[in-house]
């Protein structure tokens, strides 16, 4: 299949491109490198031994997007491009709505104009909001607590309405839980950009000596050790989830949501201990106040993704911890 991957140089995008290429698909990456770098393209090519076409550009520029579709006959779009920092979205909501929603509308309009009917969208478990009880399943009510989350929810709605109106579109809305880990080659992974907000990038920065101490946000949650519980999924498993969605895309009528997680929750302290054990490193940490907006427990009900897409994660927490560190430590050699 000829597949357009928007945001293909990013963390999840790059791992998905590797998976697509290894499965014989033709990949065109569209990226503006706002939060990624062009050398990722060479690294994807090095891992797979295959070439990737790159179109550098911004999805918010309607003319650029139109030309991209005009010049290529895409069969399917995998749409990762977007802004993703929760805190920044609270400070700059217009920037987030403009970019994530405006950019997606340009992609949708081009799909209509050039008759592309298949799309896989990067959504997030953040759409389950604060009021559901884990395990989260796709039929639960959704809500958001910050502009980033609202953009994911609004885009899900826009795609659902569009697919309904079009009649013959096939859209997979993939709700990611907490992606960590990196490719086994150590060539691609999650690149730290400033002080990380997320747990694993913070831990690897402490391990690298770039940050002094991990703040564990709260130890008085109603969980087995009091720290927050999340469903961490290896990014290479997540990439396979996209492959599975693509393989089954014709069976999806309209737009349908799928959780991509392991179904297992680990606490912050479980992750710290697993990281220390897997890499034989001590991580400095201290207990800090709760982070506003955090919930106690979040993990997936994985049944729908398994039943309808045949998706099941395979990689262990040890692998997630080892590969995360293997990638980051290479950055500082």
294 binds ligand UFG (CB under 6 A): yes
How far apart (Å, rounded) are the C-alpha atoms in residues 130 and 124? Answer: 14
232 belongs to the catalytic site: no
Single residue of 33, 97, 114, 217 touching ligand UFG by CB under 6 A: 217
Contact 127, 98 (CB under 8 A): no
How far apart (Å, rounded) are the C-alpha atoms in residues 321 and 200? Answer: 8
Single residue of 4, 44, 125, 182 touching ligand UFG by CB under 6 A: 125
324 binds ligand UFG (CB under 6 A): no
249 binds ligand UFG (CB under 6 A): no
Closest to ligand UFG by CB, 203 vs 255, is 203
Distance, C-alpha 59 to centroid of its chain = 18
Q: What percentage of the chain's residues is helix, strand, coil (to nearest 5)?
A: 45, 20, 40
Closest to ligand UFG by CB, 69 vs 202, is 202
Provide the minimum distance between the beta carbon of 200 and ligand UFG in the complex, in angstroms, as a whole number.
7
How far apart (Å, rounded) are the C-alpha atoms in residues 254 and 244? Answer: 17
Report strand pairing: 229-230 vs 266-267.
antiparallel
- The interface region with ligand UFG, picked from 35-43, 48-56, 215-223, 320-328 by CB under 6 A, is 215-223
| Residues 6 or more apart in contact with residue 157 via CB below 8 angstroms | none
- R_g over Cα of the chain: 19
- The interface region with ligand UFG, picked from 132-140, 183-191, 194-202, 314-322 by CB under 6 A, is 194-202
Single residue of 193, 197, 284, 330 touching ligand UFG by CB under 6 A: 197
Out of 96, 128, 136, 148, pick the active-site residue: 148
Q: Return the ∠ at Cα 325 (arms to 324 and 326), rounded to 5°.
A: 95
Within residues 31-90, the interface with ligand UFG by CB under 6 A covers: 84, 86
Single residue of 70, 224, 291, 303 touching ligand UFG by CB under 6 A: 291
Structure tokens that stand for 71 in this block: 């010049």
Contact 300, 260 (CB under 8 A): yes
Please identify the residue of the shown chain whose CB is closest to the bound ligand UFG: 228
Closest to ligand UFG by CB, 172 vs 249, is 172
Closest to ligand UFG by CB, 84 vs 117, is 84
Count of residues in contact with ligand UFG, rule CB under 6 A: 20
Contact 236, 326 (CB under 8 A): no
199 binds ligand UFG (CB under 6 A): yes
215 binds ligand UFG (CB under 6 A): yes
Provide the minimum distance between the beta carbon of 86 and ligand UFG in the complex, in angstroms, as a whole number.
6
As to burial, measured by CB atoms within 10 angstroms (0-12 exposed, 13-18 middle, 19+ buried), residue 169 is: buried
| Phi/psi of residue 42, nearest 5 degrees | -60, -35
Bond from prior residue into 223 cis (ω within 30 degrees of 0): no
206 binds ligand UFG (CB under 6 A): no
Within residues 258-277, the interface with ligand UFG by CB under 6 A covers: 268
Closest to ligand UFG by CB, 216 vs 274, is 216
Provide the minimum distance between the beta carbon of 330 and ligand UFG in the complex, in angstroms, as a whole number.
22
Q: What is the DSSP string of 13-74?
A: HHHHHHHHHHTT-EEEEEE--SSS-THHHHHHHHHHS---EEEE--TT-HHHHHHHHHH---
- The interface region with ligand UFG, picked from 10-18, 121-129, 135-143, 315-323 by CB under 6 A, is 121-129
Give catalytic residue positions.
Answer: 148
Footprint of ligand UFG (CB under 6 A): 84, 86, 124-126, 178, 197-199, 202, 214-217, 228, 230, 268, 291, 294, 298
């Amino acid at each position: 299949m000829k597949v357009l991957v928007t945001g293909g140089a990013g963390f999840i995008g790059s791992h998905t491109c590797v998976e697509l290429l290894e499965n014989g698909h033709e990949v065109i990456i569209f990226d503006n490198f706002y939060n990624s770098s062009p050398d990722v393209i060479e690294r994807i090519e090095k891992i797979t031994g295959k070439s990737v076409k790159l179109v550098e550009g911004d999805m918010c520029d309607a003319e650029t997007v139109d030309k991209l579709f005009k010049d290529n006959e895409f069969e399917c779009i995998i749409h990762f491009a977007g802004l993703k920092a929760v805190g920044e979205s609270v400070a700059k909501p217009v920037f987030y709505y403009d970019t994530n929603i405006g950019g997606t509308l340009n992609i949708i309009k081009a799909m209509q104009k050039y008759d592309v009917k298949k799309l896989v969208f990067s959504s997030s478990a953040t759409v389950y909001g604060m009021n559901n009880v884990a395990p989260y399943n796709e039929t639960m009510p959704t809500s958001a607590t910050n502009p980033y989350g609202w953009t994911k929810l609004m885009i899900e709605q826009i795609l659902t309405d569009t697919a309904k109106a079009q009649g013959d579109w096939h859209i997979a809305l993939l709700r990611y839980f907490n992606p960590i880990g990196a490719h086994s080659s150590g060539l691609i992974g999650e690149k730290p950009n400033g002080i990380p907000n997320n747990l694993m990038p913070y831990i690897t920065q402490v391990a690298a000596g770039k940050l002094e101490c991990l703040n564990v946000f709260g130890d008085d949650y109603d969980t087995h050790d009091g720290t927050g519980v999340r469903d961490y999924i290896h990014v290479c498993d997540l990439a396979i989830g996209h492959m599975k969605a693509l393989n089954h895309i014709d069976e999806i009528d309209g737009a349908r949501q799928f959780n991509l997680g392991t179904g297992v929750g680990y606490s912050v302290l479980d992750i710290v201990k697993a990281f220390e054990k897997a890499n034989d490193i001590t991580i400095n940490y201290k207990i800090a106040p709760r982070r506003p907006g955090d919930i106690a427990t979040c993990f997936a009900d994985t049944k729908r993704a398994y039943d309808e897409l045949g998706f099941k994660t395979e990689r262990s927490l040890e692998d997630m911890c080892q590969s995360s560190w293997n990638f980051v430590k290479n950055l500082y050699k």
